[in-house]
Amino acid sequence: MWRASGQLFVHVARKRILSGPWDRPAAFMSTLLINQPQYAWLKELGLREENEGVYNGSWGGRGEVITTYCPANNEPIARVRQASAADYEETVKKAREAWRIWADIPAPKRGEIVRQIGDALREKIQVLGSLVSLEMGKILVEGVGEVQEYVDICDYAVGLSRMIGGPILPSERPGHALIEQWNPVGLVGIITAFNFPVAVIIAKVLEDNKLPGAICSLTCGGADIGTAMAKDEQVNLLSFTGSTQVGKQVALMVQERFGRSLLELGGNNAIIAFEDADLSLVVPSALFAAVGTAGQRCTTARRLFLHESIHDEVVNRLTKAYAQIRVGNPWDANVLYGPLHTKQAMSMFLGAVEEAKKEGGTVVYGGKVMDRPGNYVEPTIVTGLDHSASIVHTETFAPILYVFKFKNEDEVFAWNNEVKQGLSSSIFTKDLGRIFRWLGPKGSDCGIVNVNIPTSGAEIGGAFGGEKHTGGGRESGSDAWKQYMRRSTW
């Protein structure tokens, strides 16, 4: 597996440099958080003032130096030197050489290496979770949960290493049988956000097992590195997680060379509550799904459809619940809601709120930037819009929940499906017939179809992904492993 921090992540990082405190005195800028006593734990992860953003068995990097900022206070954490084009080419070469060694290791033995990686992550789960919280703005429990998900997927992969098989099928030829065999697809490029300390941990496990570190390589880079990877015929599968706009560009470049791509793109997710719904479930579920990670999850609930008979009561309850959300530093264990990742995200939030007002919406809660350091905005509820309003059909990566009234099942199922994305969806009802219709061919057209639970919080045991402009890719459980394999029939 070969990972690269590509255009989505680094594009954001560059914007943060531009939007950061460039007008502060040089003396302040030299005081990185990593050098402050309360953040000494960062050095436990191997971080330094300036970190090398390339790993292919050895650490390096000859590209631009970028600075990462804490979104809770916009103070600089540390710096990373990115990959150059030459670094990329060297890394691909070493990764392909490493793959030949990795492919000769029996699958259960490879599973044992993955188990060790999971155990190494477990040992650092709290400090890694704290880093996610500090760097990304997620509340601490979500940061730790992100690392836990990585651990869980390692556990799942260990089981798969002893279970993947192929069927034996009847043959038309006498005395013969057909056999299907699955083999690894080869070199996998992954464009994603990828933290340096996780790479350090994986590298240590590979080193302890006398395996080449390039088995899991890292190249932090910008659009140049991401584009090179997408066009590179040496990359057998390219996985991209990010916006639909960038994902489409990636897919076209990969398709141009008849390569394989795996896309996890945007979501415009809806919760539907019918007249028989348990409101004690609806309100906390809508809140959790809408404001978790400050609305910056691909599975965040952005639309809430309420039957006309319960609309006013739910909005009233939800508004009161929003008023009780505890906002603060994301690494405070008692905080539920942290900052947006960048100042650009704040601008998009404000732009979406203004557009919603222009299209006839009423802000019943929030809608403003908060008067405090960092990238904080108020969690926001908007009512009164038409379900077809253009802003409703635009995914805004921010904590804005659009609320609508509906009259009947056919109407609201159609509204759920009318957006271009198809990631996650949920209904709240006690009607078993309605539940089965929701799960059936005329129900939700999303990849994740929930009942009486939020749109967010997917489990790794099931295949994760969506339809339409969400990309169609599947990750994690079920048979998602097939995305990373090729099949031979003999």
9 pLDDT higher than 60: no
The pLDDT of residue 474: 95
Tell me the CATH number at 304.
Answer: 3.40.309.10
The pLDDT of residue 445: 98
Tokens of 341: 């990742």
Establish if 174 belongs to a structural domain.
yes
Establish if 472 belongs to a structural domain.
no
Q: What is the pLDDT of residues 45-99, one digit of tens each?
A: 999 999 999 999 999 999 999 999 999 999 999 999 999 999 999 999 999 999 9
- Number of domains forming the structure of the chain: 2
Q: Please indicate, yes or no, whether residues 99 and 229 belong to a single structural domain of this protein.
A: yes
Which of these is catalytic: 52, 264, 378, 409? 264
- Residues composing the chain: 490
3-state helix, strand, coil in the chain (%, to 5): 40, 20, 35
The pLDDT of residue 1: 39
**Residue 37: how many other CB atoms lie within 10 Å:** 5
Establish if 344 belongs to a structural domain.
yes
Q: Please indicate, yes or no, whether residues 220 and 285 belong to a single structural domain of this protein.
A: no
- Rounded to an integer, what distance in angstroms lies between the CA atom of residue 424 and that of residue 445? 9
Residue 333: which domain range? Answer: 269-459
178 pLDDT higher than 60: yes
Q: What is the pLDDT of residues 86-139, one digit of tens each?
A: 999 999 999 999 999 999 999 999 999 999 999 999 999 999 999 999 999 999
4 pLDDT higher than 70: no
Q: Please indicate, yes or no, whether residues 53 and 23 belong to a single structural domain of this protein.
A: yes
Q: What is the pLDDT of residues 221-268, one digit of tens each?
A: 999 999 999 999 999 999 999 999 999 999 999 999 999 999 999 999
The pLDDT of residue 100: 97
Q: Please indicate, yes or no, whether residues 68 and 139 belong to a single structural domain of this protein.
A: yes
Q: Please indicate, yes or no, whether residues 208 and 244 belong to a single structural domain of this protein.
A: yes
411 pLDDT higher than 60: yes
216 pLDDT higher than 60: yes
310 pLDDT higher than 70: yes
23 pLDDT higher than 70: no
457 pLDDT higher than 70: yes
Tell me the CATH number at 191.
Answer: 3.40.605.10
Q: Please indicate, yes or no, whether residues 285 and 242 belong to a single structural domain of this protein.
A: no
What integer best gives the mean pLDDT of the chain?
A: 92
Average pLDDT value for residue range 402-416: 99
Whole-number Cα distances in Å, 368 to 268, 322, 327, 472: 22, 14, 14, 35
The pLDDT of residue 194: 57
Establish if 464 belongs to a structural domain.
no
The pLDDT of residue 16: 32
Under the banding of pLDDT at 50, 70 and 90, the label for residue 198 is confident
Neighbour-count burial for 99-135, b at 16+ CB within 10 Å, e otherwise: beebeeeeeeebbebbbbbbebbbebbeebbbbbbbb
5 pLDDT higher than 60: no
Under the banding of pLDDT at 50, 70 and 90, the label for residue 30 is low
Establish if 469 belongs to a structural domain.
no
27 pLDDT higher than 50: no
Nearest to 258 by CA among 223, 232, 224: 232
Q: Please indicate, yes or no, whether residues 293 and 258 belong to a single structural domain of this protein.
A: no
The pLDDT of residue 11: 27
Under the banding of pLDDT at 50, 70 and 90, the label for residue 200 is confident
Q: Please indicate, yes or no, whether residues 149 and 280 belong to a single structural domain of this protein.
A: no
Establish if 208 belongs to a structural domain.
yes
Q: Please indicate, yes or no, whether residues 143 and 45 belong to a single structural domain of this protein.
A: yes
Q: Please indicate, yes or no, whether residues 237 and 283 belong to a single structural domain of this protein.
A: no
The pLDDT of residue 12: 26
Establish if 465 belongs to a structural domain.
no
Average pLDDT value for residue range 317-331: 97
User: Which stretch of 14-28, 165-179, 328-342, 444-458 has the lowest confidence by average pLDDT?
Assistant: 14-28
Establish if 439 belongs to a structural domain.
yes
Percentage above 70 pLDDT, the chain: 93
Please indicate whether residue 264 is annotated as part of the active site: yes
Average pLDDT value for residue range 286-308: 97
The pLDDT of residue 195: 57
Q: Please indicate, yes or no, whether residues 254 and 274 belong to a single structural domain of this protein.
A: no
pTM, two decimals, is 0.92
- Output the CA torsion 432→435→437→440 (10° steps): -130
Q: Please indicate, yes or no, whether residues 291 and 371 belong to a single structural domain of this protein.
A: yes
Nearest to 314 by CA among 286, 344, 348: 286
